[in-house]
């Protein structure tokens, strides 16, 4: 059994391994490569749980994160972020020892890379499949062809295919909307692939947001999936329908430091530096920063009705709770809170504590 003294991320290993296994099996059923995004957990130890499910290649969102995982024996890493040419020294260093796949969306980036590369790397052209954050519009085929020309011109870069991220699925309101985004975004990628089939016979299509990978069953039209958040899931994923409450694998355990029964509030040690300031518009409670789950000792159980993290400042959290809950709470108790966005919450901690009391380290900043 463990003791909590300050805000701590609790991790349920059993649930987490189940999430990993389910996604690995879905990839196998579809005969697609499973290249999970490791930006959510950022931990060697949790990475090894993916190895246990046969995973051999991974995704990161930065060169630093790729270095961290290369240091644990991962030898095929895609950095799913527009290549940052200022990190060329680290790119070359990494490309010496692993298969490094970078993402580009402009000729300028390819030209800058080609001038300074000393090692071979693979490139994926980022397509904007509806999220409108990064990527080339799929109908800008001449622009795409221009990028391909530059890749071909450079002896050290090899075109691997097209990378898309349907990030707009996170803003979906329900499963039907996720399904529509899934079909549309994969269709857009295949249109581009088809257009260039004569020039390149063997281009890869890789996609991978957690909502579509969780909700949809058919991935036969793509070659690779890269979901990340599903390893932990969170309240946002639950609200849009991409996971159940039982699939959420982390909770932040926070000490109770003050009780204000007159205004139905509990003050916890646990604020923006422990949860992040990511918020969720809850259908009943409005803006929330987390929901309180029942504490069944080592783990956590069902949600406690109407008990939620209503406000946060740097280290304080204000939990709103009905009197029946307040009557049972005392100074020095622990409240277990499910996070709104697990990627952002996990990033604020250097250690996970498993529900059986083992500390698991993650990358530090």
Is 282 a residue that touches its own copies (CB under 8 A)? Answer: no
List 33, 85, 117, 156, residue binding its own copies (CB under 8 A)? 85
Is 298 a residue that touches its own copies (CB under 8 A)? Answer: no
Q: Are 138 and 127 in contact (CB under 8 A)?
A: yes
- Give, as one character, the DSSP assignment of residue 136: B
CB under 8 A: which stretch of 2-10, 19-27, 144-152, 299-307 binds its own copies?
2-10
Give min distance, CB of 252 to its own copies, in A.
Answer: 13
Q: Which is nearer to its own copies, 117 or 344 (CB)?
A: 344
Is 285 a residue that touches its own copies (CB under 8 A)? Answer: no
Is 364 a residue that touches its own copies (CB under 8 A)? Answer: yes
Q: Are 231 and 249 in contact (CB under 8 A)?
A: yes
List 48, 64, 97, 287, residue binding its own copies (CB under 8 A)? 64
DSSP per-residue string spanning 43-91? -HHHHHHHHTTT---EEESSHHHHHHHHTTT--EEEEEEE--GGGHHHH
Binding to its own copies (CB under 8 A) within 334-353 occurs at 334, 343-344, 347-350
Q: For the stretch 194-219, what's the b/e string if a residue is b when 16 or more beta carbons lie within 10 angstroms of its beta carbon? A: eebeeeeeebbbbbbbbbbbbbbeeb
Nearest C-alpha neighbor of 182 from the set 195, 196, 167: 167
Is 132 a residue that touches its own copies (CB under 8 A)? Answer: yes
Is 87 a residue that touches its own copies (CB under 8 A)? Answer: yes
Binding to its own copies (CB under 8 A) within 221-280 occurs at 255, 257-260, 263, 267, 269, 272-273, 276-279
- The answer for 153, left when phi > 0, alpha when psi is -120 to 50, beta otherwise, is alpha
354: which residues sit within 8 A by CB, 6+ positions away? 10, 11, 12, 13, 360
Residue numbers at the binding site for its own copies (CB under 8 A): 4-6, 39, 61-64, 81-87, 90, 105-106, 108-109, 112, 132-134, 167, 255, 257-260, 263, 267, 269, 272-273, 276-279, 311, 313-316, 318, 330-332, 334, 343-344, 347-350, 364-365
């Amino acid at each position: 059994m463990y003791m909590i003294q300050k805000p701590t991320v609790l991790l349920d290993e059993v649930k987490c391994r189940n999430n990993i296994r389910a996604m690995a099996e879905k990839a196998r059923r579809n005969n697609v490569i499973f290249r999970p995004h490791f930006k959510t957990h950022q931990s060697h130890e949790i990475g090894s749980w993916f190895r246990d499910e046969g995973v051999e290649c991974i995704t990161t969102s930065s060169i630093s994160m790729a270095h961290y995982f290369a240091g644990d024996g991962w030898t095929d890493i895609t950095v799913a972020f527009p290549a940052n040419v200022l990190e060329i020294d680290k790119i070359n260093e990494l490309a010496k020892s692993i298969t490094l796949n970078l993402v580009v969306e402009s000729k300028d980036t390819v030209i800058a890379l080609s001038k300074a590369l000393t090692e071979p790397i693979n490139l994926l052209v980022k397509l904007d499949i509806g999220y409108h954050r990064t990527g080339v519009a799929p109908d800008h085929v001449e622009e795409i062809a221009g990028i391909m020309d530059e890749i071909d011109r450079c002896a050290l870069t090899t075109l691997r295919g097209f990378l898309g991220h349907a990030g707009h699925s996170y803003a979906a309101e329900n499963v039907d909307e996720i399904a529509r985004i899934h079909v549309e975004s994969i269709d857009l990628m295949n249109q581009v692939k088809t257009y260039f089939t004569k020039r390149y016979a063997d281009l890869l299509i890789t996609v991978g947001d957690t909502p579509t990978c969780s909700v949809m069953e058919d991935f036969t039209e793509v070659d690779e999936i890269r979901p990340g958040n599903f390893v932990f899931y969170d309240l946002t994923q639950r609200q849009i329908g991409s996971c159940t409450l039982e699939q959420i694998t982390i909770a932040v355990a926070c000490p109770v430091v003050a009780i204000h029964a007159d205004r139905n509030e509990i003050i916890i040690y646990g604020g923006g530096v422990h949860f992040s300031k990511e918020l969720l518009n809850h259908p009943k409670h409005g803006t929330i920063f987390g929901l309180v789950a029942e504490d069944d000792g080592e783990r956590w159980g069902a949600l406690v009705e109407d008990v939620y993290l209503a406000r946060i400042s740097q280290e304080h959290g204000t939990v709103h709770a009905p009197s029946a809950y307040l009557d049972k709470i005392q100074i020095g108790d622990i409240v277990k809170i499910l996070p709104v966005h697990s990627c952002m919450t996990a990033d604020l901690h250097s250690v996970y504590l498993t529900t059986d009391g083992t500390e698991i380290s993650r990358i530090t900043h």
